[in-house]
């Protein structure tokens, strides 16, 4: 069983790379931001608690996020392993995580700031099924509509220049120290996130000694 954490600044391609790994490696992808967005869309109690914080690009409280991760991992639908994305985001979350789970590797997608803004502001999400698009690199076949379900493509609430600035600040202040902690304890593989997705996936697989990515 393999257990990985995938980290990187907003727009570095964590969701895309997780999907390419999940497909043939039988890994369960656990996207903490996706779970929180689901709660917001479904108007659950948790959704009401986190909606404003998320739209402002700020981090949701540790207790809540930790309980979501604990419950998600207790579902045990990850017999062949998991790939967790969006967690841990600060040192407290990392310590909580390492108390309960040993991990095989941390994938760190490295993207310079000048590319972050360009990528994030062109990101779109299907309002119905949650599929990700990018108006520069991954356009839908029909402008404004999802290729899978035809739903409307909308920007994420937190993909505004203001929220992006808040998220980048948090990333450098709170998430970078997590990488330092992991570097001391675990294997951290840093990969250049600028090339096209397949090339990034090739670099991840060769760095982690995984079977090659088949296009």
Site string for ligand AMP, 157-176 (x = CB under 6 A): -x--------x---------
Site string for ligand AMP, 41-60 (x = CB under 6 A): ------------xx--xxxx
Instruction: Give the residue closest to ligand AMP by C-beta.
Output: 33
| Catalytic residue check, 89 | yes
| Catalytic residue check, 183 | no
Query: What is d(CA 149, CA 129) in angstroms, rounded to the nearest whole number?
Result: 7
Structure tokens at 129: 């099924």
Range in contact with ligand AMP (rule: CB under 6 A) among 31-39, 70-78, 116-124, 176-184: 31-39
Query: What is d(CA 20, CA 41) in angstroms, rounded to the nearest whole number?
Result: 25
- Under rule CB under 6 A, residue 93 binds ligand AMP: yes
| Catalytic residue check, 185 | no
Residue in the structure block whose two tokens are 């540790």 = 62
Residues ≥6 apart with Cβ < 8 Å to 148 = 126, 129, 131
Assess whether the previous peptide bond of 38 is cis (omega < 30° from 0).
no
Catalytic residue among 51, 124, 167, 183: 167
Query: What is d(CA 177, CA 180) in angstroms, rounded to the nearest whole number?
Result: 5
The residues that are catalytic are: 14, 89, 123, 156, 167
Q: Binding site for ATP, residues?
A: 11-16, 123, 195
């Amino acid at each position: 069983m393999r257990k990985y954490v995938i980290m990187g600044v907003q727009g570095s391609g964590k969701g895309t790379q997780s999907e390419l790994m999940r497909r043939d490696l039988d890994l369960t992808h656990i996207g903490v931001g996706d779970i929180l967005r689901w709660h917001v869309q479904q108007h659950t109690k948790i959704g009401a608690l986190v909606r404003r914080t998320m739209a402002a690009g700020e981090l949701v409280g540790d207790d809540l996020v930790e309980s979501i991760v604990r419950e998600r991992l207790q579902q045990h639908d990850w017999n062949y392993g998991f790939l967790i994305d969006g967690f841990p985001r600060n040192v407290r979350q990392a310590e909580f995580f390492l108390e309960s789970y040993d991990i095989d590797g941390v994938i760190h997608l490295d993207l310079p700031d000048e590319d972050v803004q360009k990528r994030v502001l062109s990101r779109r999400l299907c309002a119905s099924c949650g599929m990700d698009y990018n108006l520069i690199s991954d356009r839908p076949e029909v402008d404004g509509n999802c290729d899978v379900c035809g739903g409307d493509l909308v920007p994420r609430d937190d993909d505004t220049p203001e929220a992006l600035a808040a998220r980048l600040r948090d990333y450098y202040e709170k998430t970078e120290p997590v990488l330092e902690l992991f570097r001391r304890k675990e294997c951290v593989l840093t990969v250049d996130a600028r090339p096209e997705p397949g090339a990034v996936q090739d670099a991840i697989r060769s760095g982690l000694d995984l079977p090659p990515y088949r296009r």
